[in-house]
Amino acid sequence: MHIPDGFLTTNVWASAWAISAGAVGVCLKKTTQILKDRMVPLMGIMSAFIFAAQMINFPVIGGTSGHLLGGVLAAVLLGPYAGAVVLTCVLIFQCLIFQDGGLLALGANILNMAIIGTLGGYVIFNVFHKIFGSAKGFIIGAAVASWFSVVVAASFCALELAISGLSPLRIVLQAMVGIHAIIGIGEALITVAVLSFIQKVRPDLIYGLIRNTERI
Amino acid sequence: MNRKEIIIGLIIALIVAFFLSPLASSLPDGLEKVAHDHDFIAKSEQGSILKSPIPDYSFPGIKNERMATAISALLGTLVIFGISCGLALLLKRRRN
């Protein structure tokens, strides 16, 4: 759902830029506070994996395709703030080098996917992780949160399109949520598969599994 | 993470990039489909205000389309790994 240039009106993309810049600033600061040596290569690998996986569009119904967003995957593995930083790096790189998403729309794309999708997704993960307990809650939380992260990001995208006057909110929201509710299933499957694998081989690397007291 | 684990992690990402990206579906994504169905796709056709070196992940100068995608994916994955590690190192240094 990388928004290209031309869709958003100036007031929308400029506001989104301002909000994203502030939010990314906070995420950078918070990441600096919790950053440990072991997180440095992990942030690199997570960006590499998410960049690669975002290129793999899988077909869904109705002649449409979707790909991994990776926000919840990054947030559960690295913590919400470093996760948002990783997603932001990927989005900036995709925009500048590959013209995937517009430059004016970059603020909106960061807001939808790196900030709302990733931080919001992590909040949902945390709720389910706490309700269902450690092992079960980890998988259920990751699945539900990754699905929601795609749907919520798509909803914000729809809101920005509607404010830009492209289509009435009810219509564009319904269309965006409808298709991304299906893409979100792919998101949940990939997120759970990757996190289960890491949980098996190196559970000590997963931020979402480390107890709060041990994080800092 | 030791050096071996870092290399294995990176290699997994590179394998996904190189071998799976040429197989990716070229159907429109969710937003493109919605834009098409609701008649505002044309608004994006003026193009970006930015001229990107590798538009649409197709590495210039390579005739085979799938290979051009695979090479873009491979190089992009390597470079973003470097950028993110570099940023993380920079943040760590700033704290110390």
pLDDT in tens, A110-136: 999 999 999 999 999 999 999 988 788
> Mean of the per-residue pLDDT values for chain B?
93
Instruction: Give the position of tokens 């197989």.
Output: B23
Q: Does B71 map to a domain?
A: yes
Q: Is residue B42 part of a domain?
A: no
Name the residue facing B24 among A55, A171, A205 (closest C-beta). A55
| Mean pLDDT to the nearest integer, A188-201 | 96
Which ipTM score applies to this complex? 0.96
Domains of chain A: 10-56+64-210 (1.10.1760.20)
Mean pLDDT in residue range B18-24 = 96
Looking at the DSSP bridge assignments, the partners of residue B33 are: none
> What's the pTM?
0.96
Per the structure, the count of domains in chain B is 1
> Is B69 domain-assigned?
yes
Determine the 3-state secondary structure of A60 from DSSP.
Answer: strand
Identify all chain A residues contacting B91, using CB atoms and an 8 Å cutoff: 28, 31-32, 35
Which residues of chain B are within 8 Å of residue A43 when distances are taken between CB atoms? 84-85, 87-88
pLDDT confidence band for A213 (50 / 70 / 90): very low
List the domain range (segments joined by +) for residue B10.
1-24+55-96
What residues contact residue A136 under an 8 Å CB cut-off, 6+ apart? none
Q: According to the model, what pLDDT value does residue A209 have?
A: 87
Mean pLDDT for chain A overall: 94
Residue B17 lies in a domain: yes
In a domain, B38, yes or no: no
With CA atoms as reference, the chain A residue closest to B17 would be A52
Q: Residue holding tokens 């995937």?
A: A100
Q: Which residues contact B46 (CB under 8 A, 6 or more apart)?
A: A5, A6
Integer CA distances (angstroms), A28 to A25, A47, A80, A137, A158, in order: 5, 15, 11, 28, 27
Which pair of structure tokens corresponds to residue A32?
Answer: 């600096």
Would you say A157 and A173 are in contact if contact means Cβ atoms under 8 Å apart? Answer: no
As a whole number, mean pLDDT of residues B56-60 equals 92
B50 is a domain residue: no
Q: Supply the pLDDT for residue A215.
A: 52
Cα–Cα distance, A183 to A72 (Å, whole number): 14
Going by C-alpha positions, the residue among B78, B87, B6, B21 that lies closest to residue A55 is: B21
> Cα A67 to the chain's mean position, in Å?
12
Please report whether residue B8 resides in a domain. Answer: yes
- Residue of chain A whose Cα is closest to the Cα of B89: A40
Residue A140 makes CB contacts below 8 A (sequence gap 6+) with A128, A132
- Separation CA B24–CA A65 (nearest Å): 9
| A55, A57, A66 member nearest B73 (Cβ) | A55
Q: Which residues of B touch A167 (CB under 8 A)?
A: 38, 40
Pick B48's closest partner by Cβ from A4, A46, A58: A4
Spell out which residues of chain A touch residue B14, defining contact as CB-CB under 8 Å.
48, 52
How far is the C-alpha of A171 from the C-alpha of B9, rounded, in Å?
42
* Residue A96 confidence (pLDDT) above 70: yes
* Percent share of chain A, pLDDT over 70: 97
Rounded to an integer, the average pLDDT of A156-174 is 97
Closest CB to B77 among A51, A103, A183? A51
Does residue B46 lie in a domain region? Answer: no
Instruction: Tell which B residues from 11 to 40 touch A, by Cβ distance under 8 Å.
Output: 12-14, 16-17, 20-21, 23-31, 33-35, 37-38, 40
Average pLDDT over residues B15-21: 97
Q: Name the percent of chain A lying above pLDDT 90.
A: 89
pLDDT for the residue A212: 54
Both tokens of B86, joined, read: 């570099």
Q: Which two tokens stand for residue A161?
A: 């399109």
Residues B34-52, mean pLDDT to the nearest whole number? 86
Q: Does B90 touch chain A (CB under 8 A)?
A: no
CB contact under 8 A, A45 and B92: no
- A108 pLDDT band (50/70/90 cuts)? very high
Contacts of A205 in chain B (CB under 8 A): 1
